[in-house]
Structure formats: structure tokens, C-alpha cells
A and B are shown apart, each in its own frame.
Chain A
Amino acid sequence: MIDVYISALEIVFSPFSLIAIAVGVGIGLTFGAIPGLSGVTAVGLLVPFTYAMEPTTAILMMVGVYCAATMSGAITAILFNIPGDVMAVATTFDGHPMAERGEAKRALSMVIFGSVVGGLFGALALATIAPQLARVAIAFGPAEFFALAVLGLTAISVLGSGSPKTMLKAILSVLFGLFLATIGSDPVSGASRFVFGNVGLEAGIARVPAIIGLFALGEVLAVLYMSRKYKQPRDTSQLRKGAIFSFPSGEDLKQVRGTLLRAPIVGTIVGILPGSGGTLGALIGYNVEQRFAKNPESFGKGNIQGVAAPESANNAAVGGSMVPLLTLGIPGSSTTAIMLAALTLHGLRPGPLLFRDNPEMTYAIIFGLVVANIVMLFMALFLVRYLLKVLLVRTEVLCFFIVSISLVGAFAIHNRISDMWIALVLGLIGFFVKKYGFSLGGIILGLVLGNLAEDGLILGLSLAGGNWWEFLTRPVALSILLLSALLFVVPIAHQLVSARRNARNGNVAGRPSGSD
């Protein structure tokens, strides 16, 4: 095993990998900081460029983007009260009041430090939990894989919680993603499905152009549609003084030491749950911290703990969300769903066999997460001031580059013009999905888990002679299905109870939902 660790470290510390991580962190910092764009957009756009790279280098670059974008969404959340990424919503609660008091630098230093602590904790959890889980999962058959796909799709109950309407929209999004995955030749019978006489569709909807369309083009089309919203003047004068950022003061660190122990644990656990990702991790981390705080009434008014908690929780969720990806082949968030597609593009099948067949690569990804967090610490401390200049660039200019890169990137994978059309059509679908409050994360989860779910169901049923009860007589499959049911029902029940309680109290409460 030591040999595997040494080989993995050799991979991570090779110049190419380090450059890839640093480039990824730089891209993540930039995309995360721009409201309207996000880390998911950046990872989606990166996929075609990583095609020419070694799979490990490609995934390390994406890990860098994911870590950094999770952190940098807080920059605009603090300065302008606009989260750069939906994961930074909870950071606005206390971060922006601090900026209004003239403490933007103090808040941002805590964001950077808290994110790194959370990220390192998530990486540690990934290194500890993933190998054990993979050892168990290696004995899984089609019924268990079908159950796992169902577990992955229960993410909709988290992504869509809020009201019956958003719930139904999230379920519909997942169904649409699953439907997209059925287009093309059926792998079992070879029958053509929904190709409408188009030979180009026989191979199915290409994942990468679809991801680029949904996440990059769709986002940009939404920004261009409502570009007035992004035109408000931005005052970055608070950060013009001082060359670089410093670590938080000793007093601040003393104040948040409990926070930096609790919030990453919450973030990691939430991150491991399929589909929940950093947004929910940050919100729950914030709520837990408020309950533990000696002065909960100061939350929402610029409490430094209220900045440290969501940031350390959402970065810990990065490592957490990679646990189901690497061990079971089901993504824990939208970003890991894209990583799953990228790994598949490189001919790799994430899941328990990845640990057996490619242990060096798997551990390199785990160690790479640690390195990405350390690189992020230094790059963020030095670069945040310069990143703010990107925010002053006109939205239309940024959109031009993203549209162009998306289209050429979609072409670059297989050198097919038809892939550009797929990206455009899915970009339009992504736009309507955003506009009408459906779930992009749900579609992508359905798209990447569609084949796993269908193959598991059909193969499992074939082996059982068409007997559906077979799924319920296998203990592991049954346990996973029960867990899925629990994950699906609990948020709905919680929502109904909360709605009833709010109705009784005469107020309305909700929480933002998004894809990360």
C-alpha cells in the first residue's frame, strides 16, 4: 500500500500536476467570483480542454477549480451582498454587514483561512472513508447498482426541497435527464430510441457538449437575457489599500476555533449525501454554529463566526461530495457529476473498481485535494485584489468569451459540428430551466446516472427472471433503497412541518436552492 501512496504522491507533485492544480485554482477563483457564473460553469467548460491531458491531471485541474470556486463565491458575497456562487449565500448573512462596517479585509481573510481548514478536513475525510466504502462496494451486483442510482437520484429531494412545486420541478428535471440518457441505441437490444432518423444521435447525446450547453451556454444566455441585473456599479475601493491579504488575527482565530472544528464535520457529512453539495452544507453549518454560539443574536449582524462556519462547511463538502463519486460512481454534487462524465470520457468508470484497478490515480486525486487547498491558500491571499478587476469587466465581454469557448470546446471533443448544435439546444434548455426554476443539477444527475440506473434495472430484472421482488430480497439493495426512501421523504416531511408551523405563525420561510 505504501508503494501506492508513494506513486500517488509522485503523480501529484509532478510539475504537470502542480501546474494543472494552480491553473485550476486560478480559473476557479475567477469564475467563482463572477456573479452569474460559477464553479460548475468553469468545470463544464474545462472538460474539452482536459481531453488531451492525462486523466489524473485533468481531474486534478477540476479539483482545483472546484475548491477555489467554492471559496471565491464569498468575495462578492461579502463586498456587494451578491454571492458569486450559490454556495456563498450563507456568507452574505454576516460577511456583508462586516464589509459595511469597513471590515471587508478581515472577513475575506477569514473566508480564505476557513475555506482552507474546511477543505483540508474534507480531504482527510475522503482519504479515510473512501477506501473503506470502496472495499464494501466491490461486491455489488446489478440490483445494488440500480439501488445506488436511485440513491443518487434522491438528491432531487434535497435539490428540490422548498415547496411541492419546486419538488415536482426537481423530479421532472431528473426524469428529463434520465430521458436524455435513453436517446440513441439501447445497449442491451441495440434498438434505436428517439433518434428521429438522425444517424448522429445513434451514439446517444454526447455528455460533454450537453454539459457545456446546460451549464456554460445556459448560464451565459440567462446572464445576457437579464444583463441589466448585472450592471450595478461595484465599489471595490475597500480592497485597494494593502498589497496582499494576511492571515486572520490571533483574536479572530481564538474566536472561531470551535467553529472550525464543528462546521467542517457538518459540511463533510452533508457533502457525502448525494446531490446536497456545498450550498446545503454551508446553510446547515451556519445554522449549527448559530445554535452553538454564546451570542446567537449577533449572527446576521457581522459575526466573524457567521463567516467562518459556512465557508469551512462548504469547502469541507467538496471532499465529502467526492466520496460517493470515487467509491460508488454516483456524484455528490453537480460539479462531481461533470467530473464523473469527464472520467468516463477518459475511459474510466468511477466506482469501487477504480480503487482496485487504478489505486495510484485514485489516491492522487485524494492527495491532490489537499495540495489544491494549500495552493488555493497562497493564490487567494495574493490574487484576490486582482480578481476584483475581473468584476469591472463588462458582462457582455465576459459572455462573448464564454459563448465562443463553449462552442469551440463542444466541437473540439470529437471534431463534430453536430456537437455544437447539441450544446446550443441544451444551452437553450438550460436557459429555460433556470428561468422557470427547474433544476440543472437534477438534469445532469439524471443524464450521468441514466445508464447506470437502466442497466442495473434491466440486468437485475433479467437475472431475476423479471421478478421485481428480487430487488427487495437482497439485503444491501434493500438497505440502499430504504436509505433512498428515507432521504427522499425526510426533507419533504420536514418541509411540510415547517410550512405548517410557519403558516401557524403567519410568516413564510424558504431557503435558496441551487446546483453546485
Chain B
Amino acid sequence: MNPLDRLLNAVRPYGEVILLSILLVAAVWLRLSLPDLIRMRRIQAWITLGPDVWPRMLIDLAILCLIGLLLIALVDLRRNLAAGASKEGASVRDIGRWFAIITIICLYIWFLPTGGFILTTFLFGVSYCIVAGLRRPREMLGLPAVFLVASYLLFTQLLSVPLPRGVGILRQLSFHIY
């Protein structure tokens, strides 16, 4: 087994405890920062039922639930470690591929206002196909092309959605298409 996979398998049982700890820290931080995060005007400070009442109730309850959950998760973890139970999950390669897809989606959203819908969507489609293992030219070029034609018909012709046009020459070119 790949050393990274071994490391991943060693960390995997602690995943839930780590997640719950992060959530608990976040909830406590939200509770402590409540006066900064809810900007009340000075005149409203005297109102008993201010805008912070409901969120404060929710966060307090969430902290209680998280403490309970963390305790249960720790007991479960101890029991599982004692029993030597191991969880099967995604490999490092799977996770890497998953992160690559998320990165591509982020880049797509980030570049869309600049590159315009057609160019950006086509590049997104091609990159997705490469990462997802769809590497035959028919798939790599065909899937983005099919989606572009379908979304052009659906969004611009049927739903009249003004899709992003991009900037500069891309914007000028887009007016010839939609």
C-alpha cells in the first residue's frame, strides 16, 4: 500500500472527532463574537427582543449538541480502536481527483465573468473530462460541446437568461452567438 494511503487509513478513524472539534471551536467563536457579528445600531441596544436573541438561542443549543456528539464520538472512537475496527474509504488518488474537480469548479466560477460562458464552459468541460478519466477525444470534446449546445438552447432561447459574455473581444464575439 502507498505510504500516503497508509497515513490516510491511520487518520481516518479520527475524522469524525476532528470534524466535531472544528465545529465546536467555530460555534464557540461565533457565540463569543456575537456582538461584533450582529451590528445593532446604538438606539436598538435597549430592545429586549433584539436581533441577537434567536441566533444566540441557536448557537447555545448547537454548542450543547456538539459537546454531546463529541463525547459520543470519543467513546465510539475508543471502542473502535480497542476492537481494531478499520473503515474502508476513498484512496489518496480518489481524494486527489476529488480535490482537482473542486479546484476546476472554483476556477470555472472565478474565470466565468472574464472568459464568458462559451469559452469558460468549454475549458471547464475539457478539464473535467481529463480529471475524471474521460480521456477519449470523443468524450473530451463531445461532452462539453453537447452541454454548450443544450445550455445555449435552454438558457438563452427558452429561459432568456443573460449568460456571462466575458470581456474584450470575447464579449464582442458573444453578441454574434447569444
- Closest partner residue, chain A, to B161 (CB atom): A412
CA distance A417 to B116 in the complex (A): 12
CA distance A165 to B65 in the complex (A): 10
The 0/1 profile, CB within 8 Å of A marked 1, for residues 16-28 of chain B is 1001000000000
CA distance A52 to B106 in the complex (A): 27
CA distance A226 to B90 in the complex (A): 6
The 0/1 profile, CB within 8 Å of B marked 1, for residues 385-423 of chain A is 000000000101101110111011001100101001100
- Closest partner residue, chain B, to A454 (CB atom): B54
CA distance A400 to B127 in the complex (A): 11
Interface residue? A511 (CB, 8 A): no
- Residues of B close to A168: CB separation below 8 A: 65, 68-69, 72
Q: Which of A61-69, A169-177, A237-245 contacts B (4 or more CB under 8 A)?
A: A169-177
Given that A49-B159, A178-B58, A424-B105 are known contacts, is A404 also in contact with B37, CB under 8 Å in the complex? no
Number of residue pairs across A and B with beta carbons under 8 Å?
148
Return the contact of A191 from the options B41, B109, B147 (Cβ within 8 A): B41
Q: Residue among B51, B73, B155 with the most chain A CB within 10 A?
A: B51
The 0/1 profile, CB within 8 Å of A marked 1, for residues 35-64 of chain B is 001111100100111111111001101100
Q: Are A193's CB and B155's CB within 8 A? A: no
Return the contact of A193 from the options B55, B105, B121, B151 (Cβ within 8 A): B55
Q: Are B112's CB and A417's CB within 8 A? A: yes
Q: Which of B3-11, B132-140, B166-174 contacts A (4 or more CB under 8 A)?
A: B132-140
Interface residue? B123 (CB, 8 A): no
Interface residue? A179 (CB, 8 A): yes
Q: Are B51's CB and A403's CB within 8 A? A: no
Q: Are A457's CB and B54's CB within 8 A? A: yes
- Residues of A close to B66: CB separation below 8 A: 172
The 0/1 profile, CB within 8 Å of A marked 1, for residues 71-114 of chain B is 01100100000000000001000110110011001101100110
- Residues of B close to A14: CB separation below 8 A: none
The residues in A between 155 and 210 inclusive whose CB is less than 8 angstroms from any CB of B are 164-165, 168-169, 171-172, 175-176, 178-179, 182, 186, 188-189, 191-194, 196
Given that A52-B160, A400-B125 are known contacts, is A225 also in contact with B94, CB under 8 Å in the complex? yes
Q: Are A403's CB and B105's CB within 8 A? A: yes
Q: Are B161's CB and A404's CB within 8 A? A: no
Q: Are B54's CB and A394's CB within 8 A? A: no
Give A contacts to B, CB under 8 Å.
Answer: 49, 51-52, 164-165, 168-169, 171-172, 175-176, 178-179, 182, 186, 188-189, 191-194, 196, 221, 224-228, 394, 396-397, 399-401, 403-405, 407-408, 411-412, 415, 417, 420-421, 424, 428, 432, 436, 454, 457-458, 461-462, 466
List, sorted by A's number, 23 A–B pairs whose CB atoms are closer than 8 Å. Answer: A52-B160, A165-B72, A168-B69, A171-B61, A171-B65, A172-B69, A175-B58, A175-B65, A178-B58, A179-B62, A182-B58, A189-B47, A189-B51, A191-B39, A224-B132, A400-B128, A403-B128, A408-B121, A436-B16, A454-B54, A458-B53, A461-B49, A466-B48
